[in-house]
Structure 1
Amino acid sequence: MTQVQLQQLQKHLWNIANDLRGKMGADEFRDYILGFIFYKYLSEKAISFANELLQDEGLAEKYHQLDENNPDHAELIDGIKENSVEEVGYALAPKQLFHTIAERGRQGEFILDELSNTLREIERSTLGAESEDDFANLFEDLDLNSTKLGNNANDRNELVSKVLTHLDNIDFDLSNSESDVLGDAYEYLIGEFASGAGKKAGEFYTPQTVSTLLAKIVTQGKERLRSVYDPTCGSGSLLLRVKREVQDVDMIYGQEMNRTTYNLARMNMILHDVHFAKFDIKQEDTLTRPQHIDQRFEAVVANPPFSAKWSADPIFLQDERFSRFGKLAPSSKADMAFVQHMLHQLDHNGTMAVVLPHGVLFRGSSEGVIRQYLIEKLNVIDAVIG
């Protein structure tokens, strides 16, 4: 796909997203359109995996043609679903495929109940599997009974069917291993939603030019990374940008406090073909409940929320992340607390890059003490880019 074709696809997706706008704000209809795109991706991935297995068995049938009411087909479907959970992390039955449900919606059938059940079944298919944590409650923000989609069930069904039909007509070219059409389109939409969300955008998205600079800094001179970590990962765009700068990253780690954005980050990883065993995204407050505290990372990147509030409880002076500084960042500005946390998680030969408000360069009091310690005692600051 050429750059022009990609741009046309991106604009087409944005137009589809606008079908959902209605009474919703940008962040609300973002959750629906990105969730539907993600479902289409999972469906096409499942079809591709299943058809390869059928071909290996010398069978002429395609996965979408299998009938669960046929005993022979039912046995095949069960085997394929079992293999799918092990290899790609989840399973879908033929009747649950995106095209199947979209086509029923196109024909005027009521699909909301089955669509809701299908999204929950994707999550349930991972129970007890290695991928369970990565798929748990992944679609919880897609409330198909919300009046924001329409005042009654029929109106909601009509709107959702329209959006699924539009998406069903798009070829995301998943068979092309040389391109990441869907991933690029998804990133484009996240960026557009960030623009529409105004000041809150930084909660889930770092502008591409900024994330590229940070990614180049932490990967300078390297072809692969053992690990990369973002303690305030948002939608995961910064972590994925780091991954693009090298041939491979063995493991991606992140933490995000906002539940909806945390779900977005996990979807974003999977959409960019990061295997479920190669990322570990957690949902919690990083400063008060760090989830990877015993680990050290080769690369650490972040765009923390500027001047966020935190407790600054004196008990944190006993926390090894902060104790050597003898001072805590003020409760009204957690910027330096994030820096202290990130340094603690950085491996001795690792590189860290972080976006902060300019105030961290000159504010006094405890921040001045921490800044002086970073420079004089630790000598860890290589560059400040304004």
Structure 2
Amino acid sequence: MSEEQRRQLQQQLWNIANALRGKMNADEFRDYILGFIFYKYLSEKIARFGDEVLEADKLKFTDLDEATEEGLAMVEAVREAAVQELGYFLKPSELFHSLAQRGTNRLDAGGNGESFNFILGDLARILKNIEQSTLGTDSADDFSNLFEDLDLTSSKLGATEKAKNDLVAKVLSHLDKIDFNLSDTNADVLGDAYEYLIGEFAAGAGKKAGEFYTPQPVSTLLAKLVTIGRTKLKSAYDPTCGSGSLLLRVKREAHGVDKIYGQELNRTTYNLARMNMILHGVHYSDFDIRQEDTLEHPQHLGLQFQAIVANPPFSAHWSASPLFMNDDRFSQYGRLAPAKKADFAFVQHMLSHLADDGTMAVVLPHGVLFRGAAEGVIRRYLIEKMNCLDAVIGLPANIFYGTGIPTCVLVFKRCRKNPDDVLFVDASQHFDKVKTQNVMRPEHIKKIIAAYKARKDEEKYSRVASLKEIAENDYNLNIPRYVETFEAEEPIDLEAVAAELTKLEEESRKTDETIAAFCRELGITPPFKA
């Protein structure tokens, strides 16, 4: 598929999404359209898999007659193979195309184009059957309640049952016409389109966008930082994984990750992350994403990861319970992160999971670089005792959806190649302005990565600071302390300015005299004293 065809697919899906939207806000209609696309993907995947199973019998999965004993036997054979290989199952009558066709009646030239049969009940049953097809199998946790956010009874879809049904049937009909091109195993066309939609929804979701999406340039930067020098990762982890886009970017940059781990607090976003993984071709056995509060109820204790990335909620609240002083994640630091600023609590949690040969990159607000009290104590311990901070990278302001604050990326390693210093990069002025948003382009990311690899001083951009200098600054990591970005203004020649003012005054006087002379000739009083 060409790049132009790829863009056309993305635009088609976005147009269909807007047709569904109606009065719903971005994060509400996102759940419906992405859920329907996911259902279509699962259907096409099953149909292709069924054809492969039945190839020796020269049969097509969609042609199997479920009303006959022979047909049911064939369906059952495909089911057993599919649940083991794909983790779920759909019968031929439950496939997306079959339902979309049942939902739409094409009228003749004397009609008004199309009408819709009632399919909401069938759709609800089918989505439930997908989840139930996994019960008792290894994939059960990955499909459990996966479609719970597709509330087909919601009044947001329409005031009446007919209105709801007509809208859903219309959307399914439009989606049914789109070829997802799953036969092209070398191109993740649908995965890219899905990512595009998630990004577009985030752009319109305001502050809520930060709950589920990290802008692609930031994801790319973090992914590149943790995969430098690696072509394959054993494991990758994101403790606040949102829609999973950041983890998928790591997988892409590393050309493969054996196992992906994540945790997400928001139930709806957790469902979206699992869909995103499956839709990008990540086998159910190759990801482990849990739904819980990462700080209060961590789900992957005892595991170590080669790559850790995160864009935690900035300055989030947490309990900061004194009981956590007995938690191995926090006990060694002597202080807990403030209850109203959990930024360092996320850092401590992530470091407890970082493997000795691993790299960790996390996006945080600038306050973590210089705030005192408990945060100052934790920051000093990270640098002085653990010596695991490898780099501090300042990003442009206004690059995240829902907040315009400037942010930074902290890079950590347990076993550092440069244990005597920390690299500081000020990339805050390297961006393009796009409408109301600042955007980092590939060339901006490339420059950051080059600076991280080179680890050299570059005027007004990067500097390698010794641990001694950082200690002398009382472990304050504020970037301007280390990277000088002051621009000297051109000196002002006061004598030249005075001469110019005198010249202007003389020209003004001569102009006034000329105007006064004209006024006298006309027999009128000048508007000023000549």
Q: Same fold (TM over 0.5)?
A: yes
Distance apart, 1:106 and its partner CA: 1.5
Distance apart, 1:247 and its partner CA: 2.4
Aligned amino acid, residue 295 of structure 1: L
Q: How does 1:63-82 map to 2 (within 5 A)?
A: 63-82=61-80
Aligned amino acid, residue 312 of structure 1: A
1:364 equivalenced with 2:363 (yes/no): no
The answer for the alignment partner of 1:58 in structure 2 is 57
TM superposition score normalised by structure 1: 0.99
1:350 to 344, 358, 371: 358
Write out per-residue CA displacement over residues 298-346 of structure 1, whole angstroms, 9 at most, x where no aligned residue.
1110000000000011110110100000000000000000000000011
The answer for the alignment partner of 2:413 in structure 1 is none
The answer for the alignment partner of 1:313 in structure 2 is 321
Write out per-residue CA displacement over residues 104-123 of structure 1, whole angstroms, 9 at most, x where no aligned residue.
11222211000100000000
1:211 equivalenced with 2:209 (yes/no): no
- CA RMSD of the aligned region, Å? 0.7
Quick one: distance in 1 between partners of 2:119 and 2:51? 25
Structure 1 SS opposite 2:194: helix
Distance apart, 1:58 and its partner CA: 2.7
The answer for the alignment partner of 2:47 in structure 1 is 47
Task: Pick the structure with greater CA Rg.
Answer: 2
The answer for the alignment partner of 2:335 in structure 1 is 327
1:102 equivalenced with 2:84 (yes/no): no
Structure 1 SS opposite 2:67: coil
Quick one: distance in 2 between partners of 1:9 and 1:175? 16
1:274 to 273, 282, 288: 282
Quick one: distance in 2 between partners of 1:204 and 1:314? 30
Q: How does 1:187-202 map to 2 (within 5 A)?
A: 187-202=195-210
Gaps of 5+ in 1: none
Quick one: distance in 2 between partners of 1:181 and 1:76? 31
Distance apart, 1:221 and its partner CA: 0.6
1:92 equivalenced with 2:81 (yes/no): no
The answer for the alignment partner of 2:31 in structure 1 is 31
The answer for the alignment partner of 2:3 in structure 1 is 3
Quick one: distance in 1 between partners of 2:370 and 2:104? 60
Quick one: distance in 1 between partners of 2:325 and 2:34? 42
Identity %, equivalent residues: 66
Structure 2 SS opposite 1:78: helix
The answer for the alignment partner of 1:167 in structure 2 is 175
Quick one: distance in 1 between partners of 2:66 and 2:5? 38
Distance apart, 1:376 and its partner CA: 0.8
TM superposition score normalised by structure 2: 0.72
Write out per-residue CA displacement over residues 235-290 of structure 1, whole angstroms, 9 at most, x where no aligned residue.
00000000001222110000000000000000000000000000000000000100
Aligned amino acid, residue 22 of structure 1: G
Segments ≥4 residues shifted beyond 6 Å? none
Quick one: distance in 2 between partners of 1:233 and 1:324? 26
Quick one: distance in 1 between partners of 2:393 and 2:17? 36
Gaps of 5+ in 2: 106-115, 395-530
In proportion to residue count, which structure has more strand?
2
Of 61-70 and 276-285, more deviation after overlay is shown by 61-70
The answer for the alignment partner of 1:184 in structure 2 is 192
Q: Which has the higher contact order (CA 8 A, sep 6+)?
A: 1
